[in-house]
Amino acid sequence: MTTKLMGTGVQRVEDQRLLRGHGRYADDVAVDASTLHCAVLRSPHAHARIVDIDVADVLDVDGVHAVWTYDDLTGPMAEPLPLLIPHPALTHGRTQYALAKDEVNYVGEAIAFVVADDRYVAEDAVGRIRVSYDLLPPVVGIEAARAADRLVHDDVPGNVGARMEQSTGDVEAALAASPRRLTLDLDVERSACMPLEGRGTVARWDPDIDRLQVWSSTQTATGVRAVVAVKLGLDLRQVDVITPDVGGGFGVKINHPWPEELLVPLAARTLGRTVKFTEDRREHFISSAHERGQVQHIEVGFDDDGRLLALDVMFWHDHGAYSPYGLIVPIITSTQLLGPYKPEVYRVVFESLYTNTVMVTPYRGAGRPQGCYAMERAMDAIAAELGKDRTEVRAANFIQPDEFPFEQGLVFQDGRELTYDSGDYPASLEKIKALIGWDDFPAYRAEMAAQGRRVGIGLACYVEGTGVGPYEGAHVHVETSGKVKVATGLTTQGQGHATVFAQLVADELGCRFEDVEVVTGDTRRMPYAVGTFASRAAVMSGSAIHLAARKAKQKALKIAAEALEASPDDLQIVDGVVSVKGSPGSAIDLGTVAVLSNPLRYAFDEASKAATQFTVGDASKPPVAEDEEPGLEGTDFYSPERSTFASGMHAVIVETDPLTAEITVLKYAVVHDCGKLINPTIVEGQIHGGVAQGVGGALYERMVYDESGQLLNASFMDFLMPYVTEVPDGIDIDHLETPSPLNPLGIKGAGEAGVIPSAAVFASAIEDAEGLTSTGLAITAMPISPSDLFHLRLAHAEETS
Amino acid sequence: MSESLLDVRLSVNGVLHELRLPARRLLSDALRHDLCLTGTHVGCEHGVCGACTVLADGRPVRACLMFAVSAVGLELTTVEGLADDDGTLSNVQQAFVECHGLQCGFCTPGFLTTITAGLRENPQPTHEEARDMIAGNLCRCTGYQNIVKAVERAAELGAQQEVEGS
Amino acid sequence: MKPAPFDYVRPGSLDDALAALSGDPGAKVLAGGQSLVPLLSMRLAAPSTLVDINGLPGLDSVEVTDDGVRVGALARHADVLAHDEAARVQPLLRLALSHVAHATIRNRGTTVGSIVHADAAAEMPVVLRLLGGSVDVAGPGGARTVPADELYVGPLESSLAHDEIATSAFFPALAPGARVAFAEIARRHGDYALVGAAALVDGDTVRVGFVSVNDVPTVVDLTGVATEDLGDAALAQLDPTDDIHATAAYRAQLVRVLTARVVREATTDE
């Protein structure tokens, strides 16, 4: 009897290939001397009108096959790139062109596209294109955007792309009636996903079948397919998009189409050659997306127990130069800010502002880290004001376990009510306190102080809406060999989908785990899909796969029941063998069932011979029953009513150096509730990675623009992603499993959680270590570097002297 | 005007390759695009991320910071050369499987080569030494936790083989 | 990020290398390449010819005598770092080299290359100056020895002529009774230092060299300065500046802290 694989840390099936160097990432596709390579001329200016582009010097460069500017684009390719997620509040949505038309709005915007024999020659050619510009004053930073004495887009007054407001009541009255009030002004700087593999697209046009094949390092194969078809004027059936191995995504690869994602297929079709674009690191910094940058103003009203009576939030979101991904990030900030709490009245207003910088689209967490930061800073401020323990104030505001489903009274990013499905926040708090040693910390602090060392503790809580719709689908096919081929349309960037989905199939269908092979992100195998974002893969595709496997199982049982002359109810499938319960001699393996499921006229091998018309079936009935289809397979879709809400709490103990202001992590703890776990090893891996990115975002990483809009740290030398030496040595993790009632497996998403509370938890702990007691809060801007902390100390010393 | 080509002899994973390449061809590109050894990945092309790390005469070097033409005379080992001839994973590779030491797998080849050399030099690293061994490689997925475990596990596998072999 | 085209020569003798350099004003020497190749790939430099000296015989040695350590132009940082005799004769070498980038970069990067690259954010130029070392240089007019104090003429600029090649660097041995210490603080382990400090204390003489503070490798004489005044005395001769990682004021604070730290370490027995 096999044990259930759900909940066990099965080793990943992907690893063998990847560890041998046999992975196949976008740049590994079509490694062939005949493949052409591309380079892009990018704007060196943040804001300018293009006066003239002279490509004459390029045309005679040996090995150059095409040089395109905007003027070479026609039809839909000459239109602006799509605004993927329109929203009524996005009154002034703007997107760029595949190649800049007349104006550039950030350093890095694509202006000209070169196709050449190799990337070296393509870069040579780019260097010979002459562009003359009329420089325009750039808008850099939220403050400049708000001041609006310069505009990014002439026709967007005040640089405001969107203004959105949601409220649950009369917040001004509630504030006025609150016995205590506090005001906070907070800042979060920009960072970026920064996967180790940049973007990449390869395309090949096959004139014999009138069909385009595209490989793209994307988080949505179906999205890329649809937009390539639209822009190139092809039928959907003429475009296949295959997602190869993807070297990390973290959000940036959900945006589509990137200019090159259209230009490469166009070049492949035009030139009749295989064409490849592989983004380099500098390009990734200046032409892929960033995230996080916000300025927040928060007013809270509360009582003597710290209960939130009124919460009024206004924030300004830096959207960069364009808004192709709509308002997803600020909407998530504005709604997920509430975390596990239930303020009596909440109002949130945001403005999404254009600046002459790289555009902003979701980065792991997608606006949640900023929301969590706002809320948790407010909690810390309330605790400080009341002289209460920070955990006590939080506990006073928790939604209680018996209050689910809990309506927050807002509309979430998917256009649906923000309704939490399940959770147990008090239980999480008890776990995190135990894990970090919250109650013992004062003694530890005293012990360290005696050695002249400064330590501080912080915690932060979050709720994460995961598994947003609209749907995902799955196809499960049992071959006559007994192998089970599974396809789902969303893509994989390292989450181990091939493993966890195989676990689900093995459990539900009853086949052997080793016999399952999962394909993701290939539109030839599953043309209906949405994509991998919002921690939705396990919830959405996991559920769909579970349902599809169930269908295949039901079919297998029906066919086997006939073959074994038993009732389907008396059958079981274990290790790929269907047998009559209690009578193991009466059995048939799934491969044979697959043979029986598909009556054949022709025989090719032993298996098909067994399925020919003289062998199979009752001669008095149609070979395929009226309500059946040939083949042992199942297809199903999962489309939930709304998102499911995971939650968690992080706590950290830091040490700050009294002289150098260096910040060291001494202990990091995570309590995480993503419902039922499919594979705890993989979930913990996701948490580890999220925490490391969170440490980066809190202590190291920021995009530094100068006033002219040049990104000053567009390299791994100066954009400080943590090495092992910068991350905690060990992360203590405890799980809580509060099942979701919304899907058949009771699961919730886990991908993004690790990064959400980082800015909040580090601000809390560093402030605690420093004992800085300014009015309100000492730490209001993240990330914080030793240099920043040093200046904070100086400012504080001045304030108190 | 066409760029002049040079004769380049590269010895990779024990196989000698004769190529005609422009002088500016980076070793990383020669391995990937000319020899089709695409296991070596390019993450930054300025020597910081370590994804392109290969072994040159057994020592880890950044393939993006060398020209193929100047790699003559060096015995190069890429990730494709780490498993045994019969396909058995090396201790380091095996440890990555056991410890969930990789997610997207893009940085992984650079870690594998680096750790392979590191454990040859120091077969039984302390925990601190294990961390230090991978301190020059960037990973964006794993938070390094399980890579450190994999270094320690690979050392353990090595020690077991020592015992069995002695 | 691919280099612009260049011609490439890999001479088999020093004379051939010098000839290749002198024949082409746009030529540049390639040794370890760990600083040069990124500049080429970002097209921040585009030499017409690269003169690859990795094929020159006899330049990869680390020779240790009682007088000091002579490091050949092709000796990699890792070779010098691992050299026990070198560490015995001049302990500052190992102390400082362990802070040079990451191990993989040290496997290819050369100590002499780093010294003549003249980056004030690098450790070894300061070490050479602090110890009063020198560089042996070959040129069309023959060989000469350049004392460290005459080597650094400006930001990223050495006094070597375009057609000269540094063949070795000499680090004097630590005098009997003298002591050294090294410390640095970087944003990330292995990054260029925000501030680094190397101390040499010999009898009453106290000198400290600073990494990443001034725009050239700088050594300050702190002989006779009271312990509590060391940092400020050093700062009187330094000019820390702002960059994206740290303000000048914070760098000044690190100068104070590290100066006190390295001098204490080089003067007290612990």
- CA B147, B152, B156, B159 dihedral sign is positive
Is B101 found in the same domain as B57? no
Q: Pick from A264, A287, A310: which residue ends a domain?
A: A287
CB contact under 8 A, A726 and C185: no
Q: CA C88, CA C97: separation in Å to the nearest integer?
A: 14
Is A658 found in the same domain as A564? no
Is A428 found in the same domain as A341? yes
The candidate with the shortest Cα–Cα distance to A405, out of A647, A645, A169, is: A645
| Residue whose token pair is 């035009």 | A270
* A726: DSSP letter: G
* Structure confidence at residue A573 as a pLDDT band (50, 70, 90): very high
CA A361 to chain centre: 10
Mean pLDDT of A447-474: 95
The predicted pLDDT at position A1 comes to 42
Q: What is the residue-wise DSSP string for A258-327?
A: -HHHHHHHHHHHHHTS-EEEE--HHHHHHHS-BB--EEEEEEEEE-TT--EEEEEEEEEEE--S--TTTT
CATH superfamily for domain C179-267 = CO dehydrogenase flavoprotein, C-terminal domain (3.30.390.50)
Q: CA B60, CA B43: separation in Å to the nearest integer?
A: 16
Q: Is residue B1 situated within a structural domain?
A: no
Is A40 found in the same domain as A50? yes
Q: CA B106, CA B132: separation in Å to the nearest integer?
A: 20
Residue type, C133: G
List the single range of A39-48, A610-619, C230-239 with lowest mean pLDDT: A610-619
Q: What is the mean pLDDT of chain C?
A: 96
Q: Pick from A588, A621, A638: which residue ends a domain?
A: A638
Residue type, A428: S
Q: Are A540 and A530 in contact (CB under 8 A)?
A: yes
Closest residue in C to A659 (Cα) is: C257
Q: CA C184, CA A259: separation in Å to the nearest integer?
A: 44
Dihedral pair phi/psi, residue A225, rounded to 5°? -60, -50
List the single range of A209-218, A595-604, A730-739, C186-195 with lowest mean pLDDT: A595-604
Q: Is residue A417 situated within a structural domain?
A: yes
Q: Are A213 and A240 in contact (CB under 8 A)?
A: yes
Measure A497 CA to nearest chain C CA, in Å: 33
Is B135 found in the same domain as B71? no
Measure A694 CA to nearest chain C CA, in Å: 15
The candidate with the shortest Cα–Cα distance to A284, out of A782, A711, A783, A727, is: A711
Give the Cβ contact number of residue A21 at 10 Å.
25
Q: Are A494 and A677 in contact (CB under 8 A)?
A: no
Is B156 found in the same domain as B99? yes
Q: Is B16 on the interface with A (CB under 8 A)?
A: no
Is A305 found in the same domain as A276? no
Q: CA B142, CA A246: separation in Å to the nearest integer?
A: 15
* C174: DSSP letter: P
Is A89 found in the same domain as A233? yes
The predicted pLDDT at position C72 comes to 98
Q: What is the residue-wise DSSP string for C99-138?
A: TSS-HHHHHH-BHHHHHHHT-TTSHHHHHHHHHT-EEEEE
Q: Is residue B156 situated within a structural domain?
A: yes
Chain C interface test: which of B3, B5, B40, B70 (most C C-beta within 10 Å): B70
Candidate from A127, A704, A726 with C-beta closest to C188: A726
CA angle A314, A320, A321 (to 5 degrees): 130
The answer for A367, left when phi > 0, alpha when psi is -120 to 50, beta otherwise, is left
B134 vs A contacts (CB less than 8 Å): 724
For the domain made up of C1-173, the CATH class stated in words is alpha beta
Is B136 found in the same domain as B73? no
In this predicted structure, the answer to whether residue C270 has a pLDDT above a threshold of 70 is no
The predicted pLDDT at position A800 comes to 75
Alpha-carbon Rg for chain A, nearest whole angstrom, is 28
List the single range of A305-319, A576-590, B67-81, C45-59 with lowest mean pLDDT: A576-590
The answer for C206, left when phi > 0, alpha when psi is -120 to 50, beta otherwise, is beta
Contacts of A194 (CB under 8 A, 6+ apart): A250, A284, A701, A719, A721, B140
Strands (E), chain C: 7-9, 27-30, 49-52, 62-64, 68-72, 134-139, 142-147, 152-154, 157-158, 165-172, 179-186, 193-202, 205-211, 218-221
The candidate with the shortest Cα–Cα distance to A791, out of C185, C246, C184, is: C246
Candidate from C4, C38, C54 with C-beta closest to B65: C38
- Judged by DSSP in three states, A86 sits in coil
Q: CA C82, CA A530: separation in Å to the nearest integer?
A: 55
Mean pLDDT of A542-566: 95
Question: How many domains does one find in chain A?
Answer: 3
Contacts of A489 (CB under 8 A, 6+ apart): A221, A222, A472, A473, A520, A521, A522, A523, A525, A526, A527, A528, A529, A530, A541
Closest residue in C to A281 (Cα) is: C1
In this predicted structure, the answer to whether residue C41 has a pLDDT above a threshold of 90 is yes
Tokens of A565: 């002359």
Candidate from A120, A790, A791 with C-beta closest to C2: A120
| Residue whose token pair is 């362990």 | C98
Q: Are A752 and A639 in contact (CB under 8 A)?
A: no
Contacts of A778 (CB under 8 A, 6+ apart): A767, A770, A772, A792, A796
Q: Is residue B166 situated within a structural domain?
A: no
Is B100 found in the same domain as B54? no
- Chains contacting A (3+ CB pairs below 8 angstroms): B, C
- Judged by DSSP in three states, A572 sits in strand
The interaxial angle of helices A328-336 and A368-386, nearest 10 deg, is 30
Residue type, C176: P
List the domain range (segments joined by +) for residue B75: 6-81
Q: Is residue A215 situated within a structural domain?
A: yes
Q: Is residue A178 situated within a structural domain?
A: no
Q: Is residue B30 situated within a structural domain?
A: yes
Q: Is C35 on the interface with A (CB under 8 A)?
A: no
* Structure confidence at residue A773 as a pLDDT band (50, 70, 90): low
The answer for A505, left when phi > 0, alpha when psi is -120 to 50, beta otherwise, is alpha
CB contact under 8 A, B70 and C54: yes
Is A714 found in the same domain as A571? no
Is A626 found in the same domain as A503? yes
CB contact under 8 A, A704 and C249: no
Top pLDDT among B166 and A279 is at A279
Residue type, A459: L
Bridge-based pairing state of the strands A180-188 and A781-782? parallel
Tokens of A298: 């928060």
List the domain range (segments joined by +) for residue A78: 17-136+193-287
The candidate with the shortest Cα–Cα distance to C217, out of C110, C130, C159, is: C130
Is A775 found in the same domain as A669? yes
The candidate with the shortest Cα–Cα distance to A705, out of A93, A306, A108, A124, is: A108
CB contact under 8 A, A31 and B142: no
Q: Could you give the C-alpha distances from A756 to A184, A367, C257, in angstroms and in order?
A: 20, 9, 35
CA B26 to chain centre: 16
Is B108 found in the same domain as B75? no
CA A580 to chain centre: 45
> What CATH number should be reported for the domain holding residue A507?
3.30.365.10
Q: CA A75, CA A796: separation in Å to the nearest integer?
A: 60
* B30: DSSP letter: I
The candidate with the shortest Cα–Cα distance to A247, out of A192, A214, A200, is: A200
Is A431 found in the same domain as A479? no
Mean pLDDT of A617-645: 89
Question: How many domains does one find in chain B?
Answer: 2
B44 vs A contacts (CB less than 8 Å): 281, 715-716
Mean pLDDT of A183-200: 97
Candidate from C3, C189, C253 with C-beta closest to A790: C253
Edge-first strand order for the sheet with A577-580 is A571-574, A577-580, A583-589
Candidate from B2, B140, B144 with C-beta closest to A196: B140
The candidate with the shortest Cα–Cα distance to A382, out of A175, A176, A180, is: A180
Closest residue in B to C7 (Cα) is: B23
In this predicted structure, the answer to whether residue A240 has a pLDDT above a threshold of 60 is yes
A19 vs B contacts (CB less than 8 Å): 79, 89, 93, 96-97, 102, 105, 108, 112
- Chains contacting C (3+ CB pairs below 8 angstroms): A, B
> What CATH number should be reported for the domain holding residue B70?
3.10.20.30
The predicted pLDDT at position A609 comes to 78
Q: Pick from A232, A261, A287: which residue ends a domain?
A: A287
The candidate with the shortest Cα–Cα distance to A284, out of A757, A721, A781, A756, is: A721
Candidate from C34, C41, C102 with C-beta closest to B135: C102
Please report how many Cα atoms fall inside a 13 Å half-sphere around the Cα of residue B33, on the Cβ side.
24
Is A659 found in the same domain as A533? no
CA A212 to chain centre: 28
Greatest Cα pair distance, chain A, in angstroms, is: 100
Bridge-based pairing state of the strands A130-135 and C134-139? unpaired
CB contact under 8 A, B46 and C40: no
* Structure confidence at residue B166 as a pLDDT band (50, 70, 90): low
List pLDDT tens digits, range A19-37: 999 999 999 999 999 999 9
Window A:132-191, CB contacts with B under 8 Å: none
> What CATH number should be reported for the domain holding residue B101?
1.10.150.120
Residue type, A117: D
ipTM: 0.97
Window A:263-292, CB contacts with C under 8 Å: 280-282
C103 vs B contacts (CB less than 8 Å): 60, 135-136
The predicted pLDDT at position A523 comes to 97
Q: Are A498 and A662 in contact (CB under 8 A)?
A: no
Q: Are B109 and B82 in contact (CB under 8 A)?
A: no
List pLDDT tens digits, range B38-62: 999 999 999 999 999 999 999 999 9
Is A265 found in the same domain as A118? yes
Contacts of A605 (CB under 8 A, 6+ apart): none
Mean pLDDT of A488-495: 94
List pLDDT tens digits, range B105-154: 999 999 999 999 999 999 999 999 999 999 999 999 999 999 999 999 99
Measure A111 CA to nearest chain C CA, in Å: 18
B107 vs A contacts (CB less than 8 Å): 196, 247
Is A373 found in the same domain as A493? no
Window A:57-86, CB contacts with B under 8 Å: 62-63
Mean pLDDT of A415-442: 96
Dihedral pair phi/psi, residue C157, rounded to 5°? -130, 125
Q: Is C249 on the interface with A (CB under 8 A)?
A: yes
Q: Are A446 and A434 in contact (CB under 8 A)?
A: no
